[in-house]
Amino acid sequence: MIAIDRANLLAGHAVAYATAFLDGRHDADQLLHDAGRLHADMLGLDEADMLGLDDPAASEILVPVRLLAVAMARTAIAARAHGAPGTPPNALARLDRWRQVTASLVELVRRESRELPR
């Protein structure tokens, strides 16, 4: 069973990584690396932990963290594509949409984290 503290730690890391990119402190390469790190940390959890079979409160935060990790990776890929030669005309719009998704998921993870039982 995953401890609520571990779930909350993963949530904190996810928020920190995403906001560092959104605030301009990290570039797309760093964001992609951070998303990969989150995915690896999530893979270290067993299926029961992810589905909340042993601790439903933990899944309330782990599911949004997983979604945020996916959004971070897609945002990084969109940012790389935007800066590449031969950028398609819709690349900036795609990047903007992924940034909005990432920012929304950051807020969701923050809220779910605050509501975790202590």
Give the count of beta carbons closer than 10 Å to the beta carbon of residue 99.
17
| Check whether domain 4-114 has CATH 1.20.120, yes or no | yes
Q: pLDDT by residue for the chain (118 residues), tens digit each? A: 457 788 889 999 999 999 999 999 999 999 999 999 999 988 887 655 555 556 777 778 889 999 999 999 999 999 998 877 777 888 899 999 999 999 999 999 999 998 876 6
Amino acid at 76: A
**φ, ψ for residue 38 (rounded to 5)?**
-60, -45
- Boundaries of every domain in the chain: 4-114
